[in-house]
Amino acid sequence: MDVMPLLPRLHLLRFPVGQAYLWRDGDELTLIDAGPAGSGAAIAGAVAALGRAAGAVRRVVLTHFHEDHAGGAGELAELTGAEVMAHRLEAPVVRGEVPGPPPVFEDWERPLHEQAARLLPKGDFTRPARVTELSDGDVLGFGGGATVLHVPGHTDGSVALHLPCHGVLFTGDTVAASPLDGRVMPGVFNLDRDRTVAAFRRLADLDTEVACFGHGDPVTGRAAEVLRRAARAHDTPPD
Ligand SMILES: [Zn+2]
Ligand SMILES: [Zn+2]
């Protein structure tokens, strides 16, 4: 796992597949996503390297249930005592009570998905026993008030988090940046691609300076302009 500072209060955590983010308010830390299963100890190590005790991690907010984002949540809850939070539609999947619905692949996504699947740990993993259920419009107590946006499409219960005080947006997998050229685009491996594009537009309308994606380099300045330009590329041309 690589750790990269983005802002004085924000670090990017990069895993073999996917990314998580560590936000700091004074002595208190919030994780946005938890990496794949097996990441708990590495994340706790990164917290220690920043000079914080494991117990400083107050909450782990999951953008969605996919294993590259939620796999480490159970281990982290055990290591830190953090509260795990997910949209109410995803919480039963995160707790391991029901399987998550698989993506509906576009043909070109299949080889990409096979590649990603090879990098993820196999078998079952520690699930968080308790998951606080979130809904659209909830405001969470970090980053000066983090608004939960329910953005179904990538999964039914995908959420984004918007920190208006800081102009920071965590998109989960509704938005991604290409590993090849950094191009910003709707995420891949969606349950419903059209709804993902609609959700992408909703996020592009927000006032955002810094946009943090589930995959690919974040945009660290004037992110709203970049997102709006990318959203326009998906407009249907007039007949
Ligand atoms: Zn992902
Ligand atoms: Zn995903």
Measured CA to CA, the distance from residue 76 to residue 62 in angstroms comes to 12
Ligand 2 centroid – CA 189 distance (Å): 7
Ligand 1 centroid – CA 142 distance (Å): 23
Sign of CA dihedral 219, 31, 69, 42: positive
2-232 folds as Metallo-beta-lactamase; Chain A (3.60.15)
Under a CB-based contact definition with an 8 Å cutoff, are residues 33 and 172 in contact? yes
Interval 145-176: pLDDT, tens:
999 999 999 999 999 999 999 999 999 999 99
Under a CB-based contact definition with an 8 Å cutoff, are residues 15 and 121 in contact? no
Q: What's the pTM?
A: 0.96
- Main-chain dihedrals φ then ψ at residue 230, nearest 5 degrees: -65, -40
Measured CA to CA, the distance from residue 76 to residue 35 in angstroms comes to 10
Ligand 1 centroid – CA 185 distance (Å): 14
Interval 176-218: pLDDT, tens:
999 889 999 999 999 999 999 999 999 999 999 999 999 999 9
Q: DSSP strand E in 1-106: where?
A: 2-7, 10-14, 19-25, 28-32, 57-61, 83-87
Is residue 237 pLDDT above 70, yes or no?
no
- Main-chain dihedrals φ then ψ at residue 225, nearest 5 degrees: -60, -45
Ligand 1 centroid – CA 60 distance (Å): 16
Ligand 2 centroid – CA 174 distance (Å): 8
Ligand positioned closest to the Cα atom of 66: 2
DSSP for 145-186 reads -EEEEE-TTSSTT-EEEEETTTTEEEEETTEEE-TTT--EEE
According to the model, what pLDDT value does residue 239 have? 63
Ligand 1 ion local residues (Cβ < 5 A)? 18, 68, 173, 214
